[in-house]
Amino acid sequence: MELLRLSKAAKCLGVHPVTLRLWADSGKIPVTWVGRERRFSSVDVEAMKVTAGGGDRIRLEGLYVRVSGSTGQESSLEAQETELRTTATGKVVRVFKDRASGLREERPGLNKLLAAVADGSVTVVRATHEDRLARFGVGWLKRLFAAHGATVEILHPKKTGGRQELLEDFISLVTTFAGRLYGMRSADARRRLLAESGQCLPDGDVR
């Protein structure tokens, strides 16, 4: 019996290392820790080939990329897509894109991805970082995808946790609500200026 490194075991199975890491985390395949490295028994890898179909399985990948702004940041979208494409180990069915906050539930790209998973045209959802999918509720998304037989692969899993992760979420919430409040105040200021100039009534109706 040989203990294989993560990359070698993933290559033997014909899957991305992220997929194998997720299998190990969920208990789908046994893992042995050697220091801080995961190792996989060659016997378990061979058994996994039989039960999972190994490299003969068809991977229909849906790549999800997102930026917060509605304009600009095209280079970030392209960088995310390039990284996901270069690490793809199956057929890339489609790239789903959004230019919106990760706190928004209604996103065109995400909705199309959900529909693709539901109809079976996407079996593997991939993103560079977990918060690209959503700032909160990623666990629920994973459960929804799993209900349709699809898995989620995050290229760069979060390494932070506890207080640091809570702080990041708090900052995200404050930033989002501050932006909305600023927008509301800006709209009120514009209405006041228009009212003072006689172009509209104080309640916002145009003369």
Q: Which residues contact residue 195 at a Cβ distance below 8 angstroms, ignoring those fewer than 6 apart?
A: 201, 202
For 65, residues 6+ apart whose C-beta sits below 8 A from its C-beta are: 77, 80, 81, 84, 95, 96, 97, 98, 127, 128, 132
Task: Please list the active-site residues.
Answer: 68
Strands 124-127 and 37-41, by their bridges, are unpaired
Question: What count of Cα atoms within 13 Å lies in the side-chain half-sphere of residue 39?
Answer: 12
- d(C-alpha 207, C-alpha 95), whole Å: 47
